[in-house]
Amino acid sequence: MIAVGLDRQSFVVGLGGGVVGDISGFVAAIYHRGIPHVQIPTTLLAMVDSSIGGKTGVNTRDGKNLIGAIYHPLLVIDDLDVLKTLPGREFNQGFAEIIKHAVIADAKMFRMLQSWKAGEAPVLQRLIRRNIEIKSKIVAKDERDETGERALLNFGHTVGHAIERAGNYRKFLHGEALSLGIVAACAISIRRAGLSPDERDAIVDLLRKFELPTTLPKNFARDKILDALKVDKKFEGGKVRFVVTPGIGAAHLTNDVTLEDIRKAIRDL
């Protein structure tokens, strides 16, 4: 960018999935101390999650997004036609974030997903719009992730990110790792937040409906998951900041969850 003479009047377009958007946003944030960023997400997951909220970053060998900036795009363009080009696995992983939003904030959307049938574009358009509304509303209350409001979006991510890293970011797609993290978070929520086993089962069944994993392979290195937890950004002052759900449509942050709770949930996956 420097070599070709781009200046403060230039802008960056991120055309692609979440990783592309994270990198293009980070570049836009640091070039000339910030130039405009336009996101054109090409995956369902990026449309409903990563293109919203301004979190940008790059991974290191030690963990996900440990280097980054909060830098909102000037414009986000969601073109549903690009979703027709996605393989089924790539498309389905986006529903992990959609299900997460339903669990933490929208019981009505959860029930709608239970009767979901792949079909008309307008239905998908409404679903994407609703997820943008949910995330945008939460982000607006806590843009820089300081009060705990935005942390609700991390439901399932503490274990999910650790699973991604334990698999060297190759074994599972982000949405697949998140699905496993949601199952673990539900197990912990039964113990620490009063989630009913029936609602836990409903959440697991919905993840399976979209062909998302709910159990780890028997030979998966579970000890690596625990090692990855140690560099998680959601640990502060040695305490675990964990998001639990007391029931579908609600969630809150707690410091009552112990590492042993997480170990047990991972063992049970």
User: Catalytic positions, please?
Assistant: 33, 55, 97, 135, 146, 150, 154, 157, 161, 174
Q: Which two tokens stand for residue 72?
A: 């909102």
Question: What phi, psi does 253 have (nearest 5°)?
Answer: -90, 140
Cα distances (Å, whole numbers) of residue 133 to 37, 45, 127, 137, 239:
20, 15, 10, 6, 31
- Calpha distance 84→90 (Å, rounded): 11
Neighbours of 34 (CB within 10 A): 12
3-state helix, strand, coil in the chain (%, to 5): 50, 15, 30
Cα distances (Å, whole numbers) of residue 49 to 9, 56, 125:
28, 12, 14
- Calpha distance 201→198 (Å, rounded): 5
| CA dihedral sign, ordered 97, 181, 141, 245 | positive
Residues in the chain: 269
Q: Which two tokens stand for residue 98?
A: 């959609």
Q: Name residues whose C-beta falls within 8 Å of residue 30's C-beta, 6 or more positions apart in sequence.
A: 69
Helices (H), 37-87: 44-45
| Cα within 13 Å of Cα(170), Cβ side | 1
Coil, strand or helix at 169: coil
